[in-house]
Structures are given as C-alpha cells and as structure tokens.
Structure 1
Amino acid sequence: MPRRALGAIAVAGAAWVAGCTTPPPPPAAVLPAPMTQADPVPATRPPAGTGSVAGQARTFSTQLATYTSVSFGAVPGWGRDDFAESWPAFLGSCKVLTARGAEWKSVCARAGTVDGKSNPAIRGFFESEFSAYQIRDDDRRPDGVVTGYFEPEIAGNRSYAAPYIYPVYGQPEDMLFADARKLPAGNSTVAARVEGRNVVVQSGLSTRDMGAPGLYALDLSAVTRDTLDRKVRLRIEGRQLLPYYTREEIETKGAPNAKVLAFVSSATALYEMQIQGSGRIRLPNGEVIRVAYAEQNGQPFRPTLAQNAAGKARSPVKVRGSSIELELDDGDDEGDVGTDAIRTRGFTLARPTASGAVVVPGRRTAGAVAGSGIKDPSYIFFKEAPGGAGGPVGAFGVPLQAGRSIAVDPRSTPLGYPVFVSTRTPGSGAPMQRLTIAQDTGGAIRGAVRADYFFGNGQQAATNARRMKERGQLWILLPRGLEVAAASAAGTLRTRGAAVGADLPQCLVPQEGACVDD
C-alpha cells in the first residue's frame, strides 16, 4: 500500500471488523522428522503418526505464513551461536510448555539432562529434538522486519500534583469480555447476558426480547474481532453493550473504575511505556515502581506516523483487518529521528504538538482539559509487578531475558517456541544471528516474518532498541513428532497473498490456543 500517515487512511468501519466466523481447520497432520547423518538420534522420541504436512513432505501453510523445512546447516550462523546464553530462556518456557502436550513434556524432560554450560551439548539437543522451518509471509517472501524494545524508566509520583498530572491506570473494574470466536457472524444486533465479567450471546432471541431483565443489546458492527487474544472488550451503557472507551474518552472523561497506580509528568513518555508494554516509574524519593501489562481497551493500534519532507510516512505500513503491519523500506527512516518524532518498536511516530491536562476522577484538574494530543485510540492498563534485577514478565508469563527473548505475532509464531533470528546489529550493521525464544507479543507486532528483540533496561538498551529496524529472516524450531494443522496441497497455492482451493488454518498447530495471546 502507499506509504502514508495512518491517520490519513480512510477505511469504512466494516473493513476493520471480521464479518465471518473462522471455518473449521483442516485435519491435522504430523510434522515429519527430517534427519541427516549428522543429526544425533535421542534415546526416546514421541511416536510419529502418518500423513503429510500440507500435502507436501517439507512445506505447509497457514493463513499468514508458509513454513519450509531446512537443515540446521542451512541456517546462517547456526554453528557460531553461543547457545548457553539462550538456555535459561528456553528452560523458562519449558515451565509453561510442559502442559501443552506430550511432545513438549518429553522434550522439556530431556532438556533437564543437558549440561546447560556446554555449547556443543545444547546445540546437539536442539538438533536432535527439533526440526528447523523457515518462516515466510503469505506471499512466500523470506524477509521481514526485526525491531527492538526495552523496559523504559520515567519520572513519577504516587500523588497528583504538577508536573505529575498523567495517571497510570490499572485494569478497570467495569470492563467486560466476550470471546470473539463465539460471536455470531455478520453485523447484526444480538441479545446478550452478562455473567460476572463475561458477555454471553443468547441465541434464538430477537431484538424484541432485548427489553427483558438481564438482557443487553450488542451491536456486532461496532466490534473489533481480530484481536490477538480473541477477546472483545465491552462496557455497559443503559441497556447496551458498547466497545470500551477510546484513549480520547479516557483522557477527557476519566476512568473512575480503574485504580491509579501513579502519576507521571510526560504524556509522551507514558504512551511509549504503553507501547513497550512494561516499565519502571522512579519516584522523587528514589523508590521505583515496576509496572507490567494488565489489559488493553480493545481499540486497534492506530499511531500517528511521522512524515518526511515529501509528505510520506517515515514508517511504511500495510493494513490487515483491524491491525497494521510494519514494512521495511531499506534506506528509509534512518538516522536521528529529530525532536518532532518518537522512535519506538520500529515505528517513527509524530510527537504531539501540544499536551494538556487530562481528567482524573476525584481530582481538580491542573489547568484546562486538553488531552495528551495523542490520537491513537488504543490504551494500555498496567499492574504493579515485583521488583528485582530480572526482566519484566512477558505475554507468555515468564520473565524476559535481554538479548534472547523476542516478541512475535502469535498467529504465525506460537509463544514459547525457539526461533533463530538472522538480522543485523543496529548501528554497526554486523550480523546478528542467534537463537531466541518467543516469549512476548505487542499491539505493534504484526506479521509472519516479524520479531521484536528485547534489549533489557537502561539507557544503552533504550538507544539500541530505538535504533533497531533491520531486514531479517526467521526459523522456528518445532519438536519432532509435533502435530501441525495442515492444509491440502491446493491450499498452498496463493494469488496476491490469498489462498486458492482450500481454507487454510489460522494456527500452525491444531490447538488454536497456542496461537492466541491469552
């Protein structure tokens, strides 16, 4: 699509909403266990079933990606990596993956017998237990975008007083949730009940029944269905269920049902912390509050992109459903971003021209309510997290490891899985080729060949993360014997990114929950 500021993209409301339910996935197939003479064979292995993958021996596809089997020797830089650095992150993932099936339980059990300080032993473990598959996008291109993120630190206070006037909200108590996978197809208005914090659509009822006690009207045309966690965030207003408040509504009306964790002095710094997904707030007395992602308002990520002198967006993107995907344009958006822009997770965003006070329930506003000036409707709510020297907890529920954890799009790369990344070091351009573990997600991380490299915390981490926007390739490591959701051979034929002849599965494994950011 043309490179232009996202705010200038005019799309009808229905284009942001998936108007049909997901078709049932094709029958599962079993991942082949390609072996070479150099591959050591483990003493035990999960039993392999019969059948092919996507009708082919070495390639299968999903709606977003194509996966092609390669030998480990064909992965650039594989033999030179220090696998001992990635081992703690992998063992952290095993704490969660052992509950994801017999293959992972067996693999992680055998990992406990490996010498975690021996690079040859760890490399041999991965080569014997896993098969490497290169990830390509839905047009079968191997190159994608690798960016960076970090854990920021900003100045704040527990109490409201200038200059600390921007609230850091916890999760609102009035937020309700509906499972997007269980919503009826189409854009009609349906009747629903509220059970605790969950919204349940009532089948067989018409609009005439919506006045009955306990029933609410839910307009499906206003719902954003294609969130990564498949959850729709709603609120009650009268007898209606409406999408949860936008950023502008939260800033101009306040969030009376959300606890305020702290107040900060910069709306722009708070916005960057929301995009990063975690952070530290340093109080005047030196105390540090660590915050982690708790929830989002369910609105799509729609940042205002900075423009170059020609009036084109400095961060080219493409739109898919309600999400945007960062595209790489070599030679564009390099160097110092200047004082009028913000570089975060690969995007170069326009800095708000003016930021004013926002409404804080129960507080007298320090000045006229003008809002932050940030037009992005999405909003992140935080929770206080334990302190300590370790990394923040990512979406997979384990602490992130600087240099070895990445954020991914879980629709194409399931969380917890090992992923080998080949890209370049920001600044020097030297090869950066290493095994990482997919342990986090982000509203800005969309696309099949897409990775966001966690640099840690501190000024150097911030500098490296903001500079990181490089072309890269990804190889996912899948346990041998793992079932994958395979399409028919005809389903791998594509025209302009669309599947022809078969409905492709959404997730590369049969359990869709593995590709959902819960």
Structure 2
Amino acid sequence: MGGWARGVLAAILGSLAACSSPPLLPPSPAPVKPVAPSAPKAAAARWVAVDWKDLPGWGSDDLLAAWPALLAGCQRPAAGWAEFCARAALQSPTDPLEATLLLMKYLRPWRLAADNGEATGLLTGYFEPQLAASRQRQGAFQWPLHALPADPVLRRTPRSDIEANPRFSALELAYVDDPFGLLQLQIQGSGRLVLRDAAGTERITRVAFAGHNDQPFQSVARALLDRGEVSDATPRTLGDWARRNPARLRDALAVNPRVVYFREEPLPDVNVGPRGAQGVPLTPGRSVAIDRAFIALGTPLWLDSTEPLSTTPLRRLVLAQDTGSAIQGAVRADLFWGWGADAALQAGRTKQPLRLWALWPDGVTPKP
C-alpha cells in the first residue's frame, strides 16, 4: 500500500477512534468481553471486541494480495458469512486501500485470548514437501510410497514388516531417493512428486493423505539426536547421516512404526496448493491451520508476529483454512509457506510468539 493510501487509512482510523460509537456487540451475558459460545472448549477462549486501530500494523498489509485466499474460503463459508461472501464476490476491490475499507465496512475485529486472559500464543509453519521420484525402483530410488490397503488387518502392518510382506508390492505408487524426505512427507500428510520419464520429461503430481496404519508415531530424528548421532534435525544433516550410514538406515527408520498411505491426485496447475481441512486450496503465506474448537474454518485473522529468525514484524491477513493435531489453543496458528526447498526452510524456522485477531461479520455472534 502506497504512502498516500496509508495516510488516508490513518486518517480514517483516527476518525473512528475519535468519534465512532462503540463496537456493536452480539448478545452476551458479559457485554464488554463476550465469550464465544458453542464448542465444548470454547469457554477456554475469549473473543474481545476491539477497534480497528487496536490491530498492530493494520493498513500496512497488501490486502488485495490476500483477496484470492479470502474468496477461496468463501466457496465454503462458515455460518453467518453468506452475506459478506456475496458482497466480496460482487465488490471485488481494485487496490489495497479499497480492499481494506471493504473489510472495515462489513467486518468487526475481535482479539483472541485464552481463558486466563493471555493474548500471546505460538506461530509455527508448515509446507508441502516436493520430492524427486521414479515409477520404477532403480538406482537411489529405493523408498516406496504405498496406497491404502483394502484389507484392514494388512493396513495395520508396522513399518519394519512392510518391506518383507509381498502383498505391499502391488501397492507401491512410486519410489523416492530420500528416506528422510519420505518421513517428512508422511508427517505433513501430502506433497508433490517430481517424476521424470526416460526422455527426461518432467511431470509433477500430488500425493494426498489416504490413511495410516494405526501405529504410534515416534520421531526418528529425535532418536538420532538423543543418541548424539546428529547435531540437529535439518534435512541437510539428516541426509548427510543417511549417506554415511546406508546399512543402518532401515533400523533407524523402524523406530517409527507409523506409516502414512497415499492416494495420487492430478495437479493441472502447479501454482495451486493442496486442499486444507476447509476443502479449498491453501494459499502460501495466507492460509493457516487453527484449532477448530476456537476458530471456525474460513475465518479471516489478523496475525501479529515476526519473520522467522528475525525481529522484523510479520503482520498480515491470513485465512483459517486448515487444521492439525498439534495445533491446539485459541492463540495458535500454523502458517502454510508453500512448497519446495525455500518453503521447507521457512517452515522449519517458524516458531515465534503470536497475537491474533479474528474478523467477523458485524452484528453476527462469533462462533467456533
């Protein structure tokens, strides 16, 4: 947003602070700090109505860049969002200032906090792994991805017993050359395979989570760290260990009995992210995973944190479009960075304090 636009927005925010009426609060026993009703854990979070001027850095983000992610979320709107989504589709903004004013006209900001009033939580990051792969087991491509077995008994086979079971050979979708990359793919639950044919032509396909073998998860990297065999759990360090210890790889991987099964999906547009829990494609830098007990999927959120390994502010509009088993709490978000090596690096570095504000249709009671 240009300097003149920021000046206009600052004047508007100043005017709102000076002469606007208090925010319209939904019916609640506590009119100043209403508690969002609904889900069982909702009592453990507070939605506190605030003014736009209370959002750190509001007006500094290019909200026009976030608009496609917002419209994607509107494909499956949460309860109470139909009217706003209809307006957003009809009144497509042409510049960041117009996008900002459109949100301010129809939405209301709410600060998220835990039940004890703590408003600072945690921001982490995740990504979509991208691995080189082959349709045939050859050379370094020795590590298979498996489709979901139809037999529920076979499905529960621990990792250490899969390779010795001939029934799994028919379920091999492709082979990768990076065993720790395959583990990361299974942890993330989906990813991309870069396949090359005999002529050298490259094709990218996506593999998505199809199920797992119901075995407990154990961290292979943690085991290596605890034994002092690696100094950190970065992909480079783990890859170096694998190259130095080829005979010990399978035993090291067997520490984790859990195996994730995949299904292959077409990827007609390589610039489109995987589908999150909301059922819409994730947008790099704009989609986050949240705890659905506190935040409804599709909710726009104002994020206040810092860039990874930096004190530079990270303040932007993001959309709650995914979930994750490790994402728990009202002030907790996992930022989707995209795919490939750079996204993996950013995701691995993201672990910093977070404050969150939810944007909700004006006059509508917030509900997780």
Provide TM-score, normalisation by structure 2: 0.76
Query: Equivalent residue for 1:512?
Result: none
Q: Helix, strand or coil: the match of 1:435?
A: strand
Q: Output the CA distance in 2 between the equivalents of 1:125 and 1:341.
A: 46
Letter in 2 for 1:70: V
Kept in 2: contact 1:405–1:453 (CA 8 A): yes
Letter in 1 for 2:185: M
Q: Against the structure 1 CA distance between its residues 308 and 458, is the aligned structure 2 distance closer, same or farther, given a 3 Å change threshold? A: closer
Query: Equivalent residue for 1:76?
Result: 56
Shift of 1:121: 2.0
Alignment of structure 1 residues 242-391 onto 2, 5 Å: 244-248=156-160, 250=162, 253=165, 256=168, 259-284=171-196, 285-297=200-212, 301-303=217-219, 306=222, 340-343=231-234, 370=251, 372-375=253-256, 377=258, 379-391=260-272
Q: Note the alpha carbon deviations across 1:102-159, whole angstroms, 9 max, x for none.
A: x321111111232332222221222222222222235432222212222222121111
Query: Equivalent residue for 2:73?
Result: 93
Structure 2 residue ranges without an equivalent (≥5): 1-15, 37-41
Shift of 1:251: 5.8
Q: Against the structure 1 CA distance between its residues 343 and 412, is the aligned structure 2 distance closer, same or farther, given a 3 Å change threshold? A: farther
Shift of 1:375: 1.9
Letter in 1 for 2:209: A
Letter in 2 for 1:386: L
Q: Note the alpha carbon deviations across 1:69-110, whole angstroms, 9 max, x for none.
A: 22221011112221111101000111111xx44x32111111
Alignment of structure 1 residues 183-262 onto 2, 5 Å: 235=152, 244-248=156-160, 250=162, 253=165, 256=168, 259-262=171-174
Q: Output the CA distance in 2 between the equivalents of 1:356 and 1:135.
A: 50
2:111 maps to which of 134, 145, 168: 134
Letter in 1 for 2:219: P
Q: Against the structure 1 CA distance between its residues 162 and 308, is the aligned structure 2 distance closer, same or farther, given a 3 Å change threshold? A: closer
Q: Against the structure 1 CA distance between its residues 50 and 145, is the aligned structure 2 distance closer, same or farther, given a 3 Å change threshold? A: closer
Q: Output the CA distance in 2 between the equivalents of 1:257 and 1:292.
A: 18
Q: Helix, strand or coil: the match of 2:104?
A: helix
Shift of 1:301: 5.0
Does residue 65 of structure 2 align to residue 153 of structure 1? no
Query: Equivalent residue for 1:422?
Result: 304
Letter in 2 for 1:80: S
Q: Helix, strand or coil: the match of 2:69?
A: helix
Q: Helix, strand or coil: the match of 1:268?
A: helix
2:85 maps to which of 101, 104, 108: 108
Q: Output the CA distance in 1 between the equivalents of 2:167 and 2:325.
A: 21
Shift of 1:286: 4.4
Kept in 2: contact 1:171–1:294 (CA 8 A): no
Does residue 357 of structure 2 align to residue 466 of structure 1? no
Q: Note the alpha carbon deviations across 1:364-403, whole angstroms, 9 max, x for none.
A: xxxxx74723426363534323142323222222222222
Letter in 2 for 1:416: G
Shift of 1:426: 1.4
Query: Equivalent residue for 1:66?
Result: 46
Higher helix share: 2
Q: Helix, strand or coil: the match of 2:192?
A: strand
Letter in 2 for 1:390: N
Q: Helix, strand or coil: the match of 1:341?
A: coil
Q: Note the alpha carbon deviations across 1:165-205, whole angstroms, 9 max, x for none.
A: 2221233334xxxxxxxxxxxxxxxxxxxxxxxxxxxxxxx
Provide TM-score, normalisation by structure 1: 0.56
Query: Equivalent residue for 2:28?
Result: 52
Q: Against the structure 1 CA distance between its residues 340 and 60, is the aligned structure 2 distance closer, same or farther, given a 3 Å change threshold? A: same
Kept in 2: contact 1:246–1:377 (CA 8 A): yes
Q: Helix, strand or coil: the match of 2:133?
A: strand
Letter in 1 for 2:232: A
Q: Against the structure 1 CA distance between its residues 161 and 371, is the aligned structure 2 distance closer, same or farther, given a 3 Å change threshold? A: farther
Q: Output the CA distance in 2 between the equivalents of 1:469 and 1:57.
A: 32
Letter in 1 for 2:34: T
Query: Equivalent residue for 1:433?
Result: 315
Q: Output the CA distance in 2 between the equivalents of 1:393 and 1:482.
A: 31
Q: Against the structure 1 CA distance between its residues 276 and 65, is the aligned structure 2 distance closer, same or farther, given a 3 Å change threshold? A: same
Does residue 285 of structure 2 align to residue 394 of structure 1? no
Q: Output the CA distance in 2 between the equivalents of 1:355 and 1:139.
A: 51
Letter in 1 for 2:28: S
Q: Which runs of 4+ in 1 moved over 4 A?
A: 35-39, 243-255, 298-302, 351-358
Q: Against the structure 1 CA distance between its residues 74 and 289, is the aligned structure 2 distance closer, same or farther, given a 3 Å change threshold? A: same
Does residue 298 of structure 2 align to residue 407 of structure 1? no
Shift of 1:410: 2.3
Kept in 2: contact 1:149–1:455 (CA 8 A): yes
Q: Against the structure 1 CA distance between its residues 290 and 122, is the aligned structure 2 distance closer, same or farther, given a 3 Å change threshold? A: same
Q: Helix, strand or coil: the match of 1:342?
A: coil
Kept in 2: contact 1:173–1:257 (CA 8 A): no
Q: How many residues align?
A: 336
Kept in 2: contact 1:355–1:370 (CA 8 A): no
RMSD: 3.7
Structure 1 residue ranges without an equivalent (≥5): 1-34, 42-47, 175-234, 238-242, 313-337, 359-368, 485-507, 510-518
Q: Output the CA distance in 2 between the equivalents of 1:446 and 1:409.
A: 5
Query: Equivalent residue for 1:240?
Result: none
Kept in 1: contact 2:143–2:175 (CA 8 A): yes
1:123 maps to which of 82, 100, 120: 100
Q: Helix, strand or coil: the match of 1:463?
A: helix
